[in-house]
Structures are given as C-alpha cells and as structure tokens.
Amino acid sequence: MRFFVTFVLIVLSACSYQQLFDKLSTPAEQAQALHAVRAVQSADLQWLQSASDPRLRTQLDATLVGKMQALAKGDPVLGNINVQWQIVEGRKTTLKRFTYELGNDAKWAVFEVVLETAGPRPVIESVFVQPVGQSLISANRFTFRDKGPIQLLWLALIAAAVATSLVAFVLALRTRGLRFKWLWCVGVLFSFGMFQLDWTTGAWRTLPVSFLLLGGSGFQQGPFTPWIFSFAVPVIAILFLVLRATGRLPIKPAADQPIGTP
C-alpha cells in the first residue's frame, strides 16, 4: 500500500538543486568528485591512484582511463548525489555517489564517482562511466516541445481536480449550519486513486490505493529524471458539491444554530 501526500506543484530550479547538493555533501567532497572526473578526462592516473581506495587502484590502469576518456568530452554537470550508510566488519561507513553528465553534440556519458567520507578525507571507492544517446538533463526538462495531447490533457485534469477541491473547501467553510463542518472542510481537500504521467515519455500508470492533497502534484527528483505529474479524483469534494446542488447537505435546523455561526 502506498500513500502520497503532495502539494499542488513543486518546482525545483537549478539553484535549489545546488542547495540540496550542498546539504548532502561538503565543498571538499564535491571538489574531490569533480577532480576525479577531470582526472579521468585528462588521463591523470597518478592523481587517481593517490586519491583512491587501495582496492580500486588495481583497476585504474591506462587502458581503463583511456576507454573512459574516449567516451565524451565537455564540462561535467552534477545531476545527483546519493548518500548511503553501511556497516562493514563493525565499522560504519558513509558512501556518497556523485552522478555527472558530460558530453556535447551526439556524444554523451553519465559518470559516477563514489566517495567514502567517514575518514579524515574523502576517498574514491569506485568510478563508473556509461555512454548515453543524449543529454539526460535536456531530455527531461519541463517543456511543451514535441509533447502530445496526453500531456495537455493531464495538466487540464490536474487543474480540474485542484479547482474542484478548492471550490468545495470554500463553499463548505461558508455554508451556514453545516453538520460536521470541519470534517467536510478537511475531507474535500483529499483526492483518491492516483494517476501518474511521465512528462518526458508520455507513459502513465495508476496507483489505486493512494491519495493526494488538493488533487494534483508535479515533481522532479533530479535533473536526470523526468517530471512526474499526478492527479487524483476529489471524491469527497464532488460528493459535497452534488449534495449542495441538490439541497441534500446535512444542515442543522435554524433553531440549533448559534447566533453568528457562518
């Protein structure tokens, strides 16, 4: 069973991503990871050997560096930091995986550097590079270019779900003598049964056992990943609006309503 509580739309800019990266790692760790990428690009085997874990040094030969160096050129762009904690032989270690994108034109690669940061200075645990067909950052930006009807329909459904929840909330708040008013006010803000859309590919899926606050959301977990837009059905809000339109809301008798009750 999965539950989601997400506000209407979370918009993360490149600046806010960098702020997140700064919280997950220190400037020294970021500098070490970037230096590792630069060292591979320039085939600086000596620096890589000096900064790496002894278990990795045997793998860092000129052939490996040469293969990595030939994959892609360009300035590395940090796209993600993943932090893991593990205990090995009773010793707690912290591993931080820095993922970069680098390349230009038709030649792109994703480069990962894993640092162990529990010691006095960051140590390179592993390096990994994988060629990709295009820039992942560019491919996953929020844009209307080359998007089809499904993306536009999804945004319209999100807007409809959010508007329905907000209208029902305002009307519930303003309805005089409404029984269980605060339950109605809270209930109309939740929508159930989530539908999610991958903005980049247009693929969608359903999550029947889930709920959303205000009926819609949009988020991106990082610049390498697609935007995910979701909406859910505001069942309680729709029920409230139908009961109100048909005059079947549970209203207290006028005699039971305190003076000044909204």
When pLDDT is averaged across residues 176-199 and rounded to a whole number, the result is: 92
Residue 160 has pLDDT above 50, yes or no: yes
Give the tens place of pLDDT for each residue, 40-69. Answer: 888 777 888 788 877 776 666 666 666 666
pLDDT of residue 182: 92
Q: What is the share, in percent, of the chain residues with pLDDT greater than 90?
A: 29
Q: Are 5 and 189 in contact (CB under 8 A)?
A: no
Residue 260 has pLDDT above 80, yes or no: no
Give the tens place of pLDDT for each residue, 82-95. Answer: 888 776 666 677 88
Residue whose C-alpha is closest to residue 107's, from 72, 83, 82: 72
Residue 27 has pLDDT above 60, yes or no: yes
Q: Max Cα separation, the chain?
A: 89
Q: How far is residue 79's CA from residue 77's CA, in Å, rounded to a whole number? A: 6
Q: How far is residue 212's CA from residue 232's CA, in Å, rounded to a whole number? A: 6
- pTM higher than 0.75, yes or no? no
**How far, CA to CA in Å, does 189 sit from each of 6, 10, 228?**
12, 18, 21
AA identity, residue 261: T
Helix (H, G, I), strand (E, B) or coil at 153: helix
- Cβ neighbors of 93 (< 8 A, separation 6 or more) are 85, 86, 87, 116, 118
